[in-house]
Amino acid sequence: MSNLIPPHGGKGLTCCLLEGAALEAEKKKAEGLKQIEICPREKGDLIMMGIGGFSPLTGFMTKADWKGVCDDFLMADGTFWPIPVTLSADKADADGIAIGDEIALYDPEGKEVMATMKVTEKYEMTQADKEYECEKVFMGEGTKTAKDFWEIARDDHPGVQMVMGQKDVNLAGPVKVLSEGEYPVKYKDVYQRPAESRKIFEDKGWQEVAALQLRNPMHRSHEYLAKIAVEVCDGVFIHSLVGNLKPGDIPAEVRVRCIDALVKNYFVEDKVVQGGYPLDMRYAGPREGLLHATFRQNYGCSRMIIGRDHAGVGDFYGMFEAQTIFNKIPTPAEEGKALLCTPLKIDWTFYCFKCDGMASLRTCPHQKQDRVLLSGTMLRKMLSEGGDLPDHFGRDEVVAILREYYEGLTDKVQIKMHTAATG
């Protein structure tokens, strides 16, 4: 009997990835099926359904699921879920598919069939439907009106652009996943299935595990957050996104080297596990914080570290909106359908010269001029522009790895800062 938190949904890990003879037979069958091309986000979602990371999901959402998730954070069967997981197709392709048909989902970048799917529903996604999803999922509490949101979101929000760029018909139905793409080979040292991370935690005797979400290189603030988690939990799971990011973000392999250097030199190694997962960022701020907690529960984590501007982009969300949203979500009557992974909420952290160490707004009585404000986005911006970093911004070992990466770049990307981080 495991002492770890149970997977989300009350059904254990629901894994759609085929293996052995079943995999070979399905691959053969897929050769004769109509192919639908998928985007990178859909590929990541498929792999997560394959390995159980999106338990209890076993397919792409119906319209009732989509509407319930947008409106109330609940799928049609009452299970908590914070962000739609949908598959889109061109109208011409969708018109050629009948309910009950099986199709092959093809990744044009990896040039392989990722899954087969039995289509149980087709529903149109009009411009108004896409805008509705964007307003529900991406619009922060600080935006006064939808008009204010759209004045900047259409051009500046990568998650909005992703949804608005979807095709015109959503296809719903269960999937059989045939591949994990490049991840097991390209990221063999960090990529994990939930069953693998759970075994590691169980072998260590851990029960309370905190997850640290990373899409930026690990700087002093991340290090401090992880160490707070180690103090109050059995261990910390440093879990990096190895899927697609937006222009200007640092590749996963560079971030992994940074984490390795930090763990080796500044942590008790037995208290830290590093892992990677295959999703694309959606940049949904508060809603994405909920998604991160949901699938970290499947990986065996009972706590989700939520700090400043979690999964944010630009000025779309309040600095701590991803913390307060946990107080507003529904609690389904059936315990297995509720989100059980709880947030570990930590205030804005920084290095304070007068405190002579890392601190937060809760512990440091000094002034702004005494503090080195730490931000992954700021770190990327300063390094990309060739600037010097303030003392105590990052560990020397990490900064050396990042400088080597930036010196090798030929194309520079303009990086925008959150107003609160610069003002």
Alpha-carbon separation of residue 316 from 158, 210, 304 (angstroms): 11, 26, 22
What percent helix, strand, coil does the chain show, rounded to 5? Answer: 40, 20, 45
CB-based contacts of 125, cutoff 8 Å, min separation 6:
88, 166, 167, 168, 169, 170
349 strand-pairing partners: 360
What is the separation, in whole angstroms, between the first and last Cα of the chain? 51
Contact present, 175 and 115 (Cβ < 8 Å): yes
| Gyration radius from the chain CA atoms | 21
The one-letter code for the residue type at 233 is C
Contact present, 137 and 70 (Cβ < 8 Å): yes
In whole angstroms, what is the distance from residue 73 CA to residue 82 CA?
A: 5
| DSSP string computed for 207-237 | -SEEEEEESS---HHHHHHHHHHHHHSSEEE
**Number of neighbours of residue 358 by Cβ within 10 angstroms:** 21
152, burial (CB in 10 Å: exposed 0-12, middle 13-18, buried 19+): middle
In whole angstroms, what is the distance from residue 65 CA to residue 95 CA?
A: 22
**Number of neighbours of residue 93 by Cβ within 10 angstroms:** 18
Closest alpha carbon to 241 in 68, 53, 369, 88:
53
371 is catalytic: no
In whole angstroms, what is the distance from residue 243 CA to residue 186 CA?
A: 11
Residue of 215, 255, 303, 380 with catalytic role: 215
Residue of 216, 282, 298, 380 with catalytic role: 216
215 is catalytic: yes
Closest alpha carbon to 73 in 334, 335, 326:
326
- Active-site positions read 215-216
